[in-house]
């Protein structure tokens, strides 16, 4: 019996190298050696949007779209969205902004409730929070009309579109733009990134969503893991260049890569 | 059991163990015990999703019930919800293949779902009119590319302007394809990083737990 | 507010009304215009056409209520295409709703099958139904079908289904057709069926997702793709079975042209307004 399932050796080696470098950089951070990381502007933009909501006395919406946590491609961005929600809710509590989080799945609803409740408690603002109005469960399908209707009636001043966004991205962002809200959008679903980037005032795309999740933890050992991810990017870059040269020379490495 | 153990440590340990089991099964041939365990764990996903659906429905029903009870704003719509839920759920519970239940699904739920999905087309048009303006060079390139690819995609486009096919195909395959490849690579690395942080228990915000800043000062 | 400003900030309801008229008229009164067949659609059709008679293929039915209007007609025509070629079909879905819609597609296809074409459940086709677990469920299915499914969608034990007699893993199939709709699941098939087992695959997705899968097509991991309603319409056209998708695709001509006209108009007005501001 083979030690490794056929066709998965390269994948295993890649996983070990990248996971290993992420852990390496996190351990270095524990020892006080922090890597130099570019500051992600989105962290300041969250506070800017919430500040605008406080000034105008109008609510901020935090929308996550698809939160079916049983689907792997949705789970990762949803977890990142929860991490960013924790930071955003705490900032909203600290600044005194009205906050609304509609959720379309029961499990995600309970997690969001916990996160928002914990955030307000951490800021000693639990008495200002009406949890069942701040976090609301809406059945998938009914959420579109409810949220659009309330965007107009509330005159929302700020909106966050974070998570795994599918076709609803353009519906909600366009409405929010027409209402006059300042928006931060972030998704890793590649075919909806163009809509988010074109319509939102600020955007975080692809892996920046996960990077923001690391940044907002405000733990330098956690954000150091981003340096480990960059090792993966350098490896990918080298392989792309090498592969292009080899293919141009007529040397195929398909067999090697499918080991 | 302490609150910290239940709320934090047990979920993190469970996440790490189950996640590692799935990863190991993908790469290494496993004995039947492990494979069967993983199959059982995967079936838990279905059960938990169903439970989550029931949980959400109960929460929503309580919310609307309270609205009707206290005659909150637009409480009459809550009565519509309660009636629709009671009838559909009741028929489904009696017999999920019942013809009336299937009639409701095929003639009400599905067309409404399709109609709501079709809203996208209207909002894309509205957004395009407002946003696709050549305010600068990058905007101009985006605008021209969008128009070329649009003409390539509509059935008559290639008949009206034949050059859009090779140009649009080039845009889609080369710069757009390269961009998407880069995003796929970046996103995959981001997911790996998230996975490592979650498995190691370094990031706990998704559990509703926020610990004060730690690490080197 | 000047007329120019009003036009630049055009109320979206006017845009919606114009688009509704542009789409409704050709749907209600189908206008068949000349159509160019896209390379991806032709490749996908020719791939299906090249499957030898008697082969068994795997089909992922991933269309739901929202995406059935786009992909459903295409899937129905493909089922007819493959059954006419005496190819045996094994369906599965990665969501409960989509498993139900796959039944709809199969039933509609069987209604449109020419007489004399064999289409017996269990002999010429089988619907395994919902496979839980997303990508990990697909991985398990690809390695050992019976570890994931013990009966089909209608409750018949798999071992009593003739078509499944010698079929238990991905390598037992000649090809894979992944009708992914908008669920973004085509990469599951690429990663769990194409790459480990070398099974050729084509698929369907919504129009806006086609660029996502261009890398897979260019690298040879997928053979063409049926993109949205136009892809379905092209499949109908190539099969000589014009239907719903063709009518809808014709309507997209008018919707798309209106979209283009509005964008160009918006830019013309923008430049005029900018020049007037500059002159002031």
Window C:12-41, CB contacts with A under 8 Å: 12
Is residue B216 pLDDT above 60, yes or no?
no
User: What does the pLDDT look like over A110-128, one tens digit per residue?
Assistant: 899 999 999 999 999 999 8
Q: What rounded mean pLDDT belongs to chain A?
A: 89
Region of C268 please: left (phi>0), alpha (psi -120 to 50) or beta: alpha
C131 interaction partners in chain A (CB closer than 8 Å): none
C123 touches chain A (CB under 8 A): no
Residue to substitute from A27, A164, A170, A243, interface B, most B β-carbons within 10 A: A170
Q: Within a domain: residue B117? A: yes
Query: Is C29 exposed, middle or buried, given 0-12, 13-18 or 19+ CB atoms closer than 10 A?
Result: exposed
- Whether residues B155 and C258 touch (CB distance < 8 A) is answered with no
DSSP B111-133: HHHHHHHHHHHHHHHHHHHHH--
C66 touches chain A (CB under 8 A): yes
- Whether residues C196 and A178 touch (CB distance < 8 A) is answered with no
| CA R_g for chain A | 21
Alpha carbons B162 and B91: distance in angstroms, whole number: 55
- Whether residues C258 and B125 touch (CB distance < 8 A) is answered with yes
A158, B29, B142 from B135: Cα distances, Å: 24, 57, 11
* Total structural domains within chain B: 1
Share of chain A above pLDDT 70, in %: 99
Pairs of residues, one from chain A and one from chain B, whose beta carbons lie less than 8 Å apart: 213
- Whether residues B125 and C19 touch (CB distance < 8 A) is answered with yes
Nearest to B59 by CA among A46, C160, A132: A132
Whether residue C229 contacts residue C212, with contact meaning beta carbons closer than 8 Å, is answered with no
A149 interaction partners in chain B (CB closer than 8 Å): none
What CATH number labels A42-220? 3.40.50
Tally of CB atoms within 10 A around B36: 12
User: What does the pLDDT look like over C159-216, one tens digit per residue?
Assistant: 999 999 999 999 999 999 999 877 678 999 998 999 889 999 999 999 888 888 888 9
Phi then psi for A225, rounded to 5 degrees? -65, -20
Closest partner residue to A222 (CB to CB) among B51, B184, B202 is: B202
Provide the pLDDT confidence category of residue C237 given band limits of 50, 70 and 90.
very high
Whether residue C130 contacts residue C94, with contact meaning beta carbons closer than 8 Å, is answered with yes
- Whether residues A191 and C134 touch (CB distance < 8 A) is answered with no
Residue with token string 């215009």: C33
C34 touches chain B (CB under 8 A): yes
Query: Is A155 exposed, middle or buried, given 0-12, 13-18 or 19+ CB atoms closer than 10 A?
Result: middle
Phi then psi for B200, rounded to 5 degrees? -80, -5
C88-93/C125-130 β-pairing: parallel
Whether residue A26 contacts residue B202, with contact meaning beta carbons closer than 8 Å, is answered with yes
Triad C80, C81, C84: Cα angle to 5°: 80
Closest partner residue to A167 (CB to CB) among C132, C182, C195 is: C182
3-class SS at C56?
strand
Q: Minimal Cα–Cα distance from C54 to chain B, Å?
A: 32
Window C:261-280, CB contacts with B under 8 Å: 262-267, 270-271
Alpha carbons B129 and C263: distance in angstroms, whole number: 5
Whether residue B22 contacts residue C134, with contact meaning beta carbons closer than 8 Å, is answered with no
Find the residue in C nearest to A66 (Cα). C183
Residue with token string 């997928």: C222
Whether residue C261 contacts residue C61, with contact meaning beta carbons closer than 8 Å, is answered with no
- Does the C39-241 domain belong in CATH 3.40.50? yes
Mean pLDDT value across residues C13-38: 88
C66 interaction partners in chain B (CB closer than 8 Å): 113-114, 116-117
Is residue C138 pLDDT above 70, yes or no?
yes
Query: Is A9 exposed, middle or buried, given 0-12, 13-18 or 19+ CB atoms closer than 10 A?
Result: middle
3-class SS at C278?
helix
Alpha carbons C232 and C80: distance in angstroms, whole number: 13
Q: Spell out the domain ranges in chain A.
A: 9-36+224-257, 42-220
Q: Spell out the domain ranges in chain C.
A: 3-30+253-279, 39-241
Residue with token string 């003639």: B107
**Tokens in use for A224?**
């150091």
Whether residue B132 contacts residue C262, with contact meaning beta carbons closer than 8 Å, is answered with no
User: What does the pLDDT look like over A228-254, one tens digit per residue?
Assistant: 889 999 999 999 999 899 989 998 877
**Tokens in use for C157?**
């034990």
Mean pLDDT value across residues A216-220: 78
B161 interaction partners in chain C (CB closer than 8 Å): none
Closest partner residue to B155 (CB to CB) among C23, C33, C140 is: C33
A138, B88, B98, B106 from B93: Cα distances, Å: 22, 9, 10, 17
Instruction: Estimate the crossing angle of helix A72-95 against helix A106-122, to 10 degrees.
Output: 30
Q: Minimal Cα–Cα distance from B159 to chain A, Å?
A: 27
Which chains neighbour C (Cβ–Cβ under 8 Å, 3 or more pairs)?
A, B
* DSSP state at residue C151: B
For the whole model, what pTM was predicted? 0.85
Count the helices and strands in chain B (H runs, E runs).
10, 0
Find the residue in A nearest to C210 (Cα). A191
- Whether residues B45 and C15 touch (CB distance < 8 A) is answered with no
Alpha carbons B110 and C244: distance in angstroms, whole number: 17
Window C:48-77, CB contacts with B under 8 Å: 64-69
Which residues form the domain of B104?
A: 95-131
- Whether residues C35 and B147 touch (CB distance < 8 A) is answered with no
User: What does the pLDDT look like over B157-206, one tens digit per residue?
Assistant: 888 899 998 999 899 888 888 888 888 899 889 888 888 988 888 877 76
User: What does the pLDDT look like over B17-74, one tens digit per residue?
Assistant: 998 988 888 888 888 888 888 878 877 877 787 788 888 889 889 989 999 999 988 8
Is residue C1 pLDDT above 80, yes or no?
no
Q: What rounded mean pLDDT belongs to chain C?
A: 91
C169 interaction partners in chain A (CB closer than 8 Å): none
- Whether residues C68 and B114 touch (CB distance < 8 A) is answered with yes
User: What does the pLDDT look like over C102-131, one tens digit per residue?
Assistant: 999 999 999 999 999 989 999 999 999 999
Alpha carbons C212 and C184: distance in angstroms, whole number: 9
Q: What is the pLDDT of residue B215?
A: 39
Q: Minimal Cα–Cα distance from B67 to chain C, Å?
A: 31
- Whether residues C253 and B156 touch (CB distance < 8 A) is answered with yes
A141 interaction partners in chain B (CB closer than 8 Å): 112-113, 116
Residue to substitute from A6, A73, A148, interface C, most C β-carbons within 10 A: A73
- Whether residues C135 and A189 touch (CB distance < 8 A) is answered with no
Phi then psi for A102, rounded to 5 degrees? -85, 140
User: What does the pLDDT look like over C204-223, one tens digit per residue?
Assistant: 999 888 888 888 998 899 99
Nearest to C192 by CA among C144, C129, C127: C144
Tally of CB atoms within 10 A around C154: 11
């Amino acid at each position: 019996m083979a030690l490794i399932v056929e066709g998965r050796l390269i994948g295993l080696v890649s996983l070990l190298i990248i996971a290993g470098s992420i852990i390496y950089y996190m351990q270095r951070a524990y020892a006080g050696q922090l890597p130099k990381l570019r500051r992600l502007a989105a962290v300041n933009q969250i506070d800017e949007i919430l500040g605008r909501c406080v000034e105008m006395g109008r609510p901020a919406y935090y929308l996550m779209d698809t939160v079916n946590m049983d689907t792997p491609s949705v789970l990762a961005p949803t977890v990142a969205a929860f991490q960013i929600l924790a930071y955003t809710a705490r900032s909203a509590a600290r600044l005194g902004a009205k906050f609304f989080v509609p959720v379309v799945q029961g499990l995600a609803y309970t997690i969001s409730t916990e996160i928002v409740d914990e955030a307000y408690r951490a800021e000693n603002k639990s008495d200002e929070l009406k949890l069942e109005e701040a976090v609301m469960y809406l059945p998938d399908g009914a959420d579109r009309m409810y949220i659009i209707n309330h965007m107009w009636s509330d005159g929302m001043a700020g909106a966050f579109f974070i998570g795994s966004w599918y076709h609803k991205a353009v519906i909600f962002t366009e409405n929010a733009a027409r209402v006059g809200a300042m928006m931060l959008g972030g998704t890793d679903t590649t075919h909806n990134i163009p809509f988010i980037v074109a319509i939102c005032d600020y955007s975080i795309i692809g892996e920046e969503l996960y990077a923001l999740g690391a940044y907002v933890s405000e733990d330098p050992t956690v954000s150091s893991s981003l340096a480990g991810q960059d090792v993966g990017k350098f490896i990918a870059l080298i392989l792309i260049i090498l592969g292009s040269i080899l293919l141009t020379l007529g040397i195929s490495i398909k067999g090697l890569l499918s080991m | 059991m302490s609150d910290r153990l239940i709320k934090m440590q047990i979920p993190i340990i469970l996440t790490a163990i189950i996640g590692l089991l799935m990863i190991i099964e993908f790469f290494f041939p496993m004995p039947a015990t492990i494979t069967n365990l993983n199959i059982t764990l995967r079936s838990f996903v279905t059960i938990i999703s169903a439970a989550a659906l029931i949980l959400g429905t109960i929460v929503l029903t309580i919310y609307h019930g309270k609205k009707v009870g206290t005659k909150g704003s637009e409480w009459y719509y809550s009565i519509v919800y309660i009636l629709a839920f009671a009838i559909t759920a009741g028929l489904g519970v009696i017999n999920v293949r019942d013809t009336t239940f299937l009639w409701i699904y095929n003639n009400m739920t599905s067309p409404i779902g399709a109609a709501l999905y079709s809203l996208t087309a209207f909002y894309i048009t509205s957004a395009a009119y407002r946003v696709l303006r050549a305010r600068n060079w990058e905007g101009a390139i985006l605008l021209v590319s969008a128009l070329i690819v649009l003409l390539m995609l509509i059935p008559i486009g290639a008949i009206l302007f034949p050059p859009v096919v090779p140009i649009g195909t080039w845009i889609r395959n080369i710069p757009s394809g390269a961009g998407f490849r880069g995003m796929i690579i970046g996103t995959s690395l981001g997911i790996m990083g998230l996975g490592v942080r979650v498995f190691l228990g370094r990031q706990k915000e998704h559990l509703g737990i926020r610990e004060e800043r730690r690490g080197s000062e | 507010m000047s007329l120019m400003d009003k036009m630049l900030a055009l109320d979206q309801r006017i845009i919606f009304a114009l688009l509704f008229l542009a789409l409704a008229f050709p749907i209600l009164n189908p206008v068949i215009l000349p159509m160019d067949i896209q390379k991806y659609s032709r490749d996908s059709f020719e791939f299906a056409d090249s499957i030898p008679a008697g082969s068994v293929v795997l089909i992922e039915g991933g269309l739901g209520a929202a995406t059935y209007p786009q992909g459903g007609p295409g899937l129905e025509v493909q089922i007819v295409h493959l059954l006419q070629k005496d190819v045996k079909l094994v369906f599965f879905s990665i969501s409960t709703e989509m498993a139900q819609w796959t039944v709809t597609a199969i039933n509609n296809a069987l209604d449109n099958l020419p007489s004399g074409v064999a289409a017996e459940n269990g002999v010429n086709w089988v619907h395994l139904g919902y496979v839980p677990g997303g990508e990990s469920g697909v991985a398990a299915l690809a390695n050992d079908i019976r570890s994931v499914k013990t009966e089909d969608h209608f409750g018949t034990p798999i071992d009593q289904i003739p078509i499944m007699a010698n079929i238990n893993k991905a390598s037992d199939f000649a090809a894979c057709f992944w009708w992914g709709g908008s669920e973004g699941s085509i990469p599951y098939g690429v990663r769990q069926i194409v790459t480990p087992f070398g099974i050729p695959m084509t698929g369907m997705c919504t129009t806006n997702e086609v660029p996502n899968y261009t890398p897979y097509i260019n690298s040879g991991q997928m053979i063409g793709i049926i993109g949205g309603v136009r892809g379905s319409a092209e499949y109908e056209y190539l099969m000589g079975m014009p239907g719903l998708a063709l009518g809808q695709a014709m309507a997209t001509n008018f919707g798309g042209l209106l979209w283009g006209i509005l964008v160009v108009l918006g830019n013309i007005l923008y430049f005029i307004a900018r020049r007037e501001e500059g002159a002031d």
